Amino acid sequence: MVETTLTDATLTDTTLTNAASASAVESTCTDIRRLDPAAAAAHLRAAAEAGRGFLGLDPVTQNDALLAAELARMQAQVFRAGDMLLGSVPNPDQPRQAFIAATSADPEPLRILLGFLDTRQRCNSFVAMVPDGAACAAAFASCGFRQVGVLRDHRYQSGAYQDVIVYHAESGFFASADSEVPCSA
C-alpha cells in the first residue's frame, strides 16, 4: 500500500492558515494524500457506511480486491484527508469534467480537491452522484453544487432499492471567499 502526498506544494496547512477564510483556519484538514488502489480499498472498508456508493462502489458487497480492480479500471484518483476520503474519475467523453465522491460532510478538503483538479488537471466541471440521504451531500452543497437530477432505484442496499442524487458544479463556484490555490512558481 502506497500513500504519497500531493506534490503541489500549495496544498499544506500553511496555505490554509494564510487564507483569509475563517472556516479554513478552523478546518481539521491539514494534509491531503493520494492513495493507490489497494490503499484506497482498505480505507473505503474502514469508512464503513460512509463508503457505500463512493464512486459507485460498495465495500459491503465488494471485497478489497474487487474494489481496487474497479478503481484502477475507472482510472480513479482517491485521496485521504484525515479520516475523509475523496475521489475523482475523469469523464471519458468530456475531458474537462470529472465525477467526484466524498465520505464526509466536511467541505474544506473537497474545496481543496476541486481547486487542485481545476488548477492542475484542467477540470472546470464537476459531477457528484450521491446516495439519497448520504451525509456527504452537505459537503457538495457547501461547495456550490446544485442538484440536477435523481436516478431512481439506482442502488440496492439494506433490502431495498435506493435513489442516487446527481449534483453539478463549475469552477469558480466552489472557491471560498478570499482563498485561492496559488500556483507554485
Contacts to other proteins by CB under 8 A: 56, 58, 60-66, 91, 93-97, 124-125, 127, 148-159, 161, 166, 168, 170
What is the tally of helices (H) and strands (E) in the chain? 6, 8
If the CB atoms of residues 59 and 109 are measured against other proteins, the closer one turns out to be 59
If the CB atoms of residues 25 and 148 are measured against other proteins, the closer one turns out to be 148
Shortest CA distance to 162 belongs to which of 8, 62, 53, 78?
Answer: 53
If the CB atoms of residues 15 and 62 are measured against other proteins, the closer one turns out to be 62
Quick one: cell of 121?
A: 488537471
* Minimum separation from the CB atom of position 14 to other proteins (A): 34
* Minimum separation from the CB atom of position 160 to other proteins (A): 8
* Minimum separation from the CB atom of position 97 to other proteins (A): 6
- Name the one residue in this structure whose C-alpha cell is 469523464: 91
Coil vs helix vs strand at 82: coil
Q: CA distances (Å), 176 to each of 1, 33, 96, 114, 144, in order?
A: 33, 21, 21, 11, 10
Coil vs helix vs strand at 168: strand
* Minimum separation from the CB atom of position 100 to other proteins (A): 13
If the CB atoms of residues 12 and 125 are measured against other proteins, the closer one turns out to be 125
